[in-house]
Amino acid sequence: MKIATFNINGIKARHAALCAWLDEAQPDVALLQEIKSVDEGFPRELFEERGYNVETHGQKGFNGVAILSKFPLEDVSRGLPGDDSDEQARWIEASVVGKRAIRVCGLYLPNGNPAPGPKYDYKLAWMDRLETYAKALISSEEVVVIAGDYNIIPQAEDAARPEVWRQDALHRLDSREKFRRLLNLGLTEAFRARHPGAGHYSFWDYQAGAYDKNDGIRIDHLLLTPQAVDLLEDAQIDHEIRGREKPSDHVPVWVQLDA
């Protein structure tokens, strides 16, 4: 089963590019972020005609997450547990029913800038909730993939110019420490498990020719429970689609599981 995460930066602007990638890459499951659409405005028919089941958790104008799956989706849940007052559409999860059930969780973690400040406090609090929920997911001993735009540059090697990002919310010490706490629970960052070393990025800014200069950062991650890691066959970044017409500033990252 091929499971991908892709921050599309607006379904209205990016639906053609997204469909082209789906037709080419043929992921079994695609977890989307920043759909920037209410649920009823999401063009689900474009994906249903390609054989995908569609579940969304939308929000007008910004945020918003979705799951596209060629397999049936069961037990769909929206919103990260732990704060009933949080109205931002940043979390969706469901069980993908193939040869075996796989729990997929799609997230759009807060950016947190400017930092320090209220937005950064929200980011850190959101990560605390994520840690608490991740513990429960791990305790379930299920095959779970927690994937999305984490807005975290985990290590210096995950940025072409780490010094530029040192005081940014994506790379501040508190952010990186909370990401490390997730890994220390027993989760494995799939891409790093297959590709150690520098030079691998999933985001390039639209400004100053960042993609042409390969001035990127790696902030889109798939974290796997131990039961999911046992099934890991491959992990890759489809970096080349950043150079296509009307691209997102992110590119897809995916894993292949023996499932």
**Residues carrying an active site annotation:** 108, 149
- Cα(62)–Cα(13) distance, rounded to whole angstroms? 13
Longest CA–CA separation in the chain, Å = 46
> HSE of 50 in the Cβ direction (CA atoms, 13 Å)?
22
Dihedral sign for Cα 235, 25, 3, 183, please. Answer: positive
In the chain, what are the helix, strand and coil shares in percent, each to the nearest 5?
30, 25, 40
Q: To the nearest 10°, the Cα dihedral for 124, 6, 106, 16?
A: 130
- Count, residues in the chain: 259
Contact present, 97 and 143 (Cβ < 8 Å): no
